[in-house]
Amino acid sequence: MRRAFVGLVGLFVVTLCPSARGQAPSTRARAMLDEARFDEAVVAFDEVLDLRDGLEREDVLDALLGRATAHLALRDEAAAANDVALLLAIEPDVTLDRRHPPSLHRLVERARRTAPPPLVLHAAARGVAGGVEIEVAHEGARELVRAVEIHHDGGVGRWQSARSGRVAVRADAPVRYFVVAIGPGGAWLATSGTQDDPRYVAPERAVVLETEPEVETPRRRRWPVALGVIGGVLVAGAVVAIVATRGGDDRTALGRPREVIE
Amino acid sequence: MTARRSFVVALALFGCGGDSIAWEYRFESVALRDEARVIEARVLRGGCSGEELAAYRFAPGERSAVAPAPLEDGRYGLEIEARDESCRWFARGCAEVEVPSDVQVVQVVVSASTAREACPGACEAGVCAGE
């Protein structure tokens, strides 16, 4: 039985795994599976999923499948189920074939029935005076998402990216943008919008309110009102200034990086 | 990676506390600057060997159009790394700053570092495919 399982795993490794991406940790992990060194394979796949760069989405899917296979071989179904749930969160339509171990097929089918929450990106953008603000949040597969990136063209057609959940962009023209969930090894796990099919957000434009028709009132009665309005504006301004400089946000602003040439 | 030592200059101006910090960087040499095609600036939590909080990419000589998010109190590393024409990270510098502090300007000096590939796939003029 074990031999058959190992054979299936070996076949899976040889024929299905991505062949020539050349990352040493992936290659080592697959070799461990091939040699039925499942404990070491789990560690090696952990290392793959801990990489900071060099992976693509398919590599992450393969690492999850490989680690789930190793966990199953070690009779650790809970850990395998966790890997399969992560896999389905980023690729709900993943298909296995006869080269995968039957136990993995069964696990995937069971997990599909419970429908683990998919990885979803929520991007929100709004125009503000002098530019736009873009925010992104994500849910599902939190264990895999290492960062989110916001890509935008600054309203001038020149694409830039920020690895941050929120950016404020100075712009005076509509800004094209898309957002990406970054996973292990820098892999793009999910996107909302793309560079070819971006989202748009326009800076806020000055709004001119129509003035209300002036109501005729005796001049001597308008002065107190005018003084009251001016006083109110001054007080409100002072409050806003105090809040802006002191209260509300104790965080320290960090300027945009600026090159100094000496 | 064995980066050459990067020098860090933190300038305290006027000795007064500030709630904003200017982030500057300069290349150690003109030759290094001439090689740079893409700059990536990173905010690292806990210092220069810390976890990446945010990253911003832009061209040399330009400023990122993106304003970094304000910093909570704590220690941070402000890192600058440069890519060359063939998408290799080849120069790096990092400066640490404690927030809040009296430091108003943090200057990162970017020095040569051991080259490493930046792109998993294709590269064109310092820009990875898909960026």
B60 belongs to a structural domain: yes
Residue B34, in any domain of the structure = yes
Beta carbons of A5 and A99 less than 8 angstroms apart = no
Radius of gyration of the CA atoms of chain A, in A = 28
Judge whether residue A120 has pLDDT over 70: yes
pLDDT at B102: 82
The CA distance from A117 to A139, in Å, is 8
Least confident of A26-30, A169-173, A249-253, B31-35: A249-253
Assess: ipTM above 0.85.
no
How would you classify residue A149: left for phi > 0, otherwise alpha for psi between -120 and 50, otherwise beta? beta
pLDDT bin (cut points 50, 70, 90) of residue A86 is: very high
Mean pLDDT of chain A: 76
Tell whether B45 is within 8 A of chain A (Cβ): no
User: Hey, is the C-beta of A186 within 8 angstroms of any chain B C-beta?
Assistant: yes
Position B124 in a domain: yes
The mean per-residue pLDDT over the stretch A62-82 comes to: 93
Asked if pLDDT for residue A116 goes beyond 70, the answer is yes
- A99 pLDDT band, cuts 50/70/90, is low
Least confident of A2-11, A42-51, A71-80, A195-204: A2-11
Closest residue on chain B to A244 (Cα):
B19
A217: pLDDT strictly greater than 60: no
Nearest to B25 among A245, A250, A259 (CB): A259
Tell whether B1 is covered by a domain.
no
pLDDT-derived band at A35 (thresholds 50, 70, 90) equals: confident
**Interchain CB distance below 8 Å, A160 and B57:** yes
pLDDT at residue number A249:
57
Across the interface, whether the CB atoms of A251 and B71 are under 8 A apart is answered yes
Q: A32-36, A196-200, B9-13: lowest mean pLDDT where? A: B9-13
Q: Which two tokens stand for residue A147?
A: 């960062």
**Which tens digit of pLDDT belongs to each residue from A139-156?**
888 899 999 999 998 888
Q: What is the pLDDT of residue A253?
A: 85
CA distance A180 to A60: 15
Q: Is the pTM of the predicted complex or chain greater than 0.80?
A: no
pLDDT tens for the 131 residues of chain B, in order: 333 333 333 333 333 344 789 999 999 998 999 999 989 999 999 999 998 887 888 888 777 756 677 888 999 999 999 999 999 999 999 999 999 888 889 999 999 999 888 887 788 888 877 66
Residue B18 resides in a domain: yes
A9 touches chain B (CB under 8 A): no
Q: Which residue in the block uniquely carries the two structure tokens 């980066």? A: B3
In 3D space, the residue among B14, B27, B29, B17 whose CA is nearest the CA of residue B98 turns out to be B17
CB-based contacts of A189: which residues, under 8 Å, 6+ apart? A57, A60, A90, A119, A141, A144, A145, A181, A182, A183
- pLDDT band for position A30 (cuts 50, 70, 90): confident
Q: Do B47 and B77 touch, CB atoms closer than 8 A?
A: yes
Residue among B62, B39, B58, B65 nearest A155 (CA): B65
At residue A60, the pLDDT reads: 95
Spell out which residues of chain B touch residue A160, defining contact as CB-CB under 8 Å. Answer: 56-58, 64-66
pLDDT over 50 at A159, yes or no: yes
On whether residue B2 sits in a domain, the answer given is: no
The alpha carbon of residue A90 and the mean position of all alpha carbons in its chain are separated, in whole angstroms, by 12
Higher pLDDT, B115 or A223: B115
Res. A20: pLDDT tops 80: no
Q: What is the CATH number of the domain that holds B43?
A: 2.60.40
Q: d(Cα A127, Cα A207) in Å, to the nearest integer? A: 13
- Locus of tokens 């490989």: A66
pLDDT score of A165 more than 60:
yes
Residue B65 lies in a domain: yes
The mean pLDDT value for A169-193 works out to 91
H-state helical runs in chain A: 2-16, 24-34, 38-49, 57-73, 77-90, 102-114, 219-245
Q: Which residues pair with B42 in a beta bridge?
A: B55, B79
Question: pLDDT category, A46, cuts 50, 70, 90?
Answer: very high
Q: What is the pLDDT of residue B9?
A: 36
Tokens of B3: 């980066």
Mean pLDDT on A178-197 = 91
**Burial track A191-203 (b if 16+ CB lie within 10 A, e otherwise):** bbbeeeebbebeb
CA distance B11 to B24: 11
CA-to-CA distance for A140 and A205, rounded, in angstroms?
A: 36
Cβ contact (<8 Å) for B66 and A262?
A: no
Kindly give, in sequence order, each residue whose CB lies less than 8 Å from that of residue A54, ignoring residues fewer than 6 positions away.
A23, A185, A186, B117, B120
* Per-residue pLDDT, A64: 95
Q: What is the mean pLDDT of residues A8-13?
A: 44
Work out how many domains chain B is built from and give that number. Answer: 1
pLDDT at residue A127 greater than cutoff 90? no
CB contact under 8 A, A254 and B52: no
Contact B102, B15 (CB under 8 A): yes
The closest CB to that of B70, out of A53, A171, A253, belongs to A253
State whether the Cα torsion B49-B53-B56-B57 is positive or negative: positive
| Residue A29 pLDDT | 92
Residue B95 structural domain: 7-128
Is beta strand B105-117 parallel, antiparallel or unpaired with respect to B123-124?
unpaired
Q: Phi/psi of residue A92, each to 5°?
A: -60, -25
DSSP result, A107-148: HHHHHHHH-PPPPEEEEEEEEEBTEEEEEEEEES-TTT--EE
Report how far residue A138's alpha carbon sits from residue B41's, in angstroms, rounded to the nearest whole number: 23
pLDDT at A98: 66
Is residue B36 situated within a structural domain?
Answer: yes
**Helix (H), strand (E) at residue B34:** helix B30-35
